[in-house]
Amino acid sequence: GENVEQHPSTLSVQEGDSAVIKCTYSDSASNYFPWYKQELGKGPQLIIDIRSNVGEKKDQRIAVTLNKTAKHFSLHITETQPEDSAVYFCAASFRNTGKLIFGQGTTLQVKP
Amino acid sequence: DAGVIQSPRHEVTEMGQEVTLRCKPISGHDYLFWYRQTMMRGLELLIYFNNNVPIDDSGMPEDRFSAKMPNASFSTLKIQPSEPRDSAVYFCASATTFYNEQFFGPGTRLTVL
């Protein structure tokens, strides 16, 4: 069945350091890979996404890389700030549907 | 636009009672999704609609759960009868098309005693 595994489950970094979160997916037909950030008491919010025809995408301090052969993708946050502290979810589309399969989430703590 | 609106924000009920959660998607969005979030199972898709029609309800846990979308601006998720294991945060999200950003509402925190 469809599955997205996300690691690590928790990540603590010092302000200014980089943070990397990795996900693997099982469905070779997946072609859309968004990343969501969820702050306490709020719904998830999209921060960046990538489609299967692209290997890397950047938006200021955030970048995502995709390796379709290995079926894994990663989120990179550089120059982390305390306001980056949140839970981050990766997701992968399921076949040719509007369905997203989410990873279990990574709690990122950025220490000032 | 006010974003996706969900009500109530918090619901506490007793086992066996009927619970109705409500969602107003962003105007112009053709897709509406209902998710459930728990510590154990993470964020799970329960059902989604396209143009008010249910497309995939394979995530609905059992017959006690039902969802409707009578028009483009309103959807409900009903649990009858509710059980303690239904306690979770329920999110509604909407999107314009496939593979575009899903905008999540603030969620409804449901506690079933």
Query: Per-residue pLDDT for A95 more than 80?
Result: no
pLDDT level of residue B55 (50, 70, 90 thresholds) = very high
Calculate mean pLDDT across residues B85-96. 96
The confidence score (pLDDT) of residue A1 equals 64
- With contacts defined as CB-CB under 8 Å, which chain B residues touch A98? 31, 33, 48, 50, 55-56, 95, 98-99
SS (H, E, C) A57-110: EEECCEEEEEECCCCEEEEEECCCCHHHCEEEEEEEECCCCCCEEECCCEEEEE
pLDDT of residue B62: 85
- For the cut 90, the answer to whether the pLDDT of residue A27 exceeds it is no
CA distance A88 to chain B (A): 12
Average the pLDDT over B2-8 and give the result: 94
Q: Quick one: closest CA in B to A46, which residue?
A: B101
pLDDT digits (tens, 9 = 90+) for B8-44: 999 999 999 999 999 999 999 999 999 999 998 899 9
On whether any CB of chain B is under 8 Å from the CB of A27, the answer is: no
Peptide bond into A34 cis (omega under 30): no
Contacts of B56 in chain A (CB under 8 A): 97-99
Q: Which residue has the higher pLDDT, B1 or B18?
A: B18
pLDDT score, position A19: 98
How many contacts, defined by CB atoms under 8 Å, are there between A and B?
52
Question: Is residue B1's pLDDT more than 70?
Answer: no
Q: What is the 3-state secondary structure (H, E, C) of B20-32?
A: EEEEECCCCCCEE
Contact check, Cβ <8 Å, B91/A89: no
Q: Between A45, A100, A104, which is nearest B42 by CB?
A: A104
Q: What is the mean pLDDT of chain B?
A: 94
Pairing of strands B88-95, B74-79: unpaired
Is the pLDDT at B99 greater than 90, yes or no?
no
Two tokens at B48? Answer: 């989604």
Q: Is the pLDDT of residue B71 over 80?
A: yes
Model confidence at A23, in pLDDT bands (50, 70, 90)? very high
SS (H, E, C) B38-92: ECCCEEEEEEEEECCEEEECCCCCCCCEEEEEEECCEEEEEECCCCHHHCEEEEE
